[in-house]
Structure 1
Amino acid sequence: MDDQALLRYSRQILLPQVSIEGQERLAAAHVLIIGLGGLGSPVAMYLAAAGVGQLTLVDFDTVDLSNLQRQIIHTSDRIGQPKVHSARQTLEGINPTVRIHCIDQALEGAALEDAVREADLVMDCTDNFATRFTVNRASVATGTPLVSAAVIRMEGQITVFEPGNPDSPCYQCLYGEGEETGETCSETGVLASLPGVMGTLQATEALKWLVGLPTLRGRLLLLDAMGMEWRSIRVPKDPGCPICGSKVQDPLLPSGEKGRG
């Protein structure tokens, strides 16, 4: 680590929970961010600022005027640009030492699984249940940890799934296939700052995992921003889960489990 890096990350290195060793772990890490909207904006910005060495950005959409109320990584002069390229411009301005790879299309099937497998950690910053279930399946299949958050109206939630840990639930354990509401922010609205709150917490959980600190695994953190009340609930692993249950997970662990470096 050169003098410029020591200065850039000095306030973080001062933390005994991080230190130079933790900062070097961040520099060696590769994080996949799926969705560069309200959640993905603060996630990408803080991970870049913190010194995560490689970020892969995935989003098929373009910047729209209606995005700018909450998607702070984009600007008015980039309306019409692919979100991943708009995001890259912002991130390069924050930290030009971070390696950024852009995928400006939706990932599905083998392509999604390959992208998840190549990363150390996945950030689900999407806004619909179908994609979250798909990303979860790829996470479990490859043994790649997943930080998942969601926001709607004035409510938010966040948790961490670690498929390499035998006690960790997955997204399917939390929400069965028949429980999705199908609601999105474009239909019900969302307070401008709320994705920033939950996205910042996502980035915090990601940084903690990457340096080897405890995370929200097994707990779902819920925010009611109207009453400014937080609630934490336990999320047990479902042994009968069709995605991560023991009958389907055990054969994957020897080749799929990922550690923290």
Structure 2
Amino acid sequence: MALSRAEITRYQRHIVLKNVGGAGQQKLKAAKVLIIGAGGLGSPVIAYLVAAGIGTIGVVDDDVVSLSNLQRQIVHRTGDEGIEKVGSAKRFAQELNPHVQFDAINKRLDDQNGAAIIAPFDLVIDGSDNFDTRASVAKLCEQAQKPLIAGAVSLFDGTLTVFKPYEDNNPRFVDLYPTRPTPEQLPSCEEAGILGPITGVIGGLQAMEAVKMITNVGEPLVGRLMIYDGRDARFREMKYRRAS
């Protein structure tokens, strides 16, 4: 997919980057990425993928902006309080990069509508804030044979992995999470709080995985769970495999 003169100037730091180059930037422009959630994780993912020149970005969320979101959800502004998050995110995207097509999907993704929402996209990034939605998105992506970049955050910590269970007998969501965590194990942000920058760390890494996978640079986190401890500033990795 050809780049305009303005796009060549905008993306020149990618174009001169070894192993990305003009061909990689063209792949980014041709890509269609769906982001689940325009909240804490979705915000940095949106910001970096819009800036990177992903050709089509879809964002699905049925929530509205509240003041308590703004401590971490960086694509929204104080004046956006009460408006649809996908509308606020679209305004952000259009102001940052007019070359990106932004599809604002003001819905809650579920088992009934999920397959139709996911179908037009090449890759899915999950920034949802509850386990049930994550499990549903993983099942839908497995059925549609779409790669899924899954991130989660809580308190001071975050995790990140990539699911491609339809290839090479790679592990599935249920292999990593065979049982549903209890509410005590997985408290909500409203109940337990969350340090704002942790969403930027994990969301930025989700965007990094997306760019890597689209441009075929490096090794994605398939079968590997990256765990970040924000208090001690430590990354560690846990490998997991398919159970059957």
Q: Distance in 2 between matches of 1:182 and 1:194?
A: 16
Q: Which of the residues 180, 184, 204 maps onto 2:188?
A: 184
Segments of structure 1 that go 5 or more residues without pairing to the other structure are 240-261
Q: CA deviation at 1:182?
A: 4.2
Matches for 1:103-118 after TM superposition, within 5 Å = 103-118=105-120
Q: CA deviation at 1:209?
A: 0.5
Letter in structure 1 aligned against 2:239: R
**Structure-2 residue corresponding to 1:102:** 104
**Structure-2 residue corresponding to 1:210:** 214
Q: CA deviation at 1:162?
A: 1.3
Q: Is the 8 A contact 2:110 2:133 kept in 1?
A: no
Q: Distance in 2 between matches of 1:198 and 1:29?
A: 21
Find runs of 4+ consecutive structure 1 residues off by over 2 angstroms. 177-182
Q: Distance in 2 between matches of 1:129 and 1:110?
A: 17
**Structure-1 residue corresponding to 2:59:** 57
**Structure-2 residue corresponding to 1:199:** 203
Q: Is the 8 A contact 1:30 1:120 kept in 2?
A: yes
Asked if residue 152 in structure 1 is aligned to residue 154 in structure 2, the reply is yes
Q: Distance in 1 between matches of 2:112 and 2:12?
A: 40
Q: Give the CA RMSD over aligned residues.
A: 1.1
Q: Secondary structure at the match of 1:63?
A: coil
Letter in structure 1 aligned against 2:36: I
Q: Is the 8 A contact 1:144 1:163 kept in 2?
A: no
Matches for 1:18-167 after TM superposition, within 5 Å = 18-167=20-169
Q: CA deviation at 1:225?
A: 0.7
Letter in structure 2 aligned against 1:226: R
Q: Is the 8 A contact 1:169 1:237 kept in 2?
A: yes
Q: Secondary structure at the match of 1:109?
A: coil
Q: CA deviation at 1:87?
A: 0.4
Letter in structure 2 aligned against 1:122: V
Q: CA deviation at 1:56?
A: 0.7
Q: Distance in 2 between matches of 1:205 and 1:178?
A: 26
Q: CA deviation at 1:116?
A: 1.5
Query: What per-residue deviation string (whole Å, max 9, x for no partner) do you get for residues 93-129 of structure 1?
Result: 1101100111111122242112222210001000100
Q: Distance in 2 between matches of 1:178 and 1:8?
A: 44
Q: CA deviation at 1:57?
A: 0.8
Letter in structure 1 aligned against 2:74: I
Q: Is the 8 A contact 1:169 1:236 kept in 2?
A: yes
Letter in structure 2 aligned against 1:210: I
Q: CA deviation at 1:54?
A: 0.2
Q: Distance in 2 between matches of 1:110 and 1:69?
A: 32
**Total equivalences in the alignment:** 239
TM-score, normalised relative to structure 1: 0.89
Percent identical among aligned pairs is 39
Segments of structure 2 that go 5 or more residues without pairing to the other structure are none
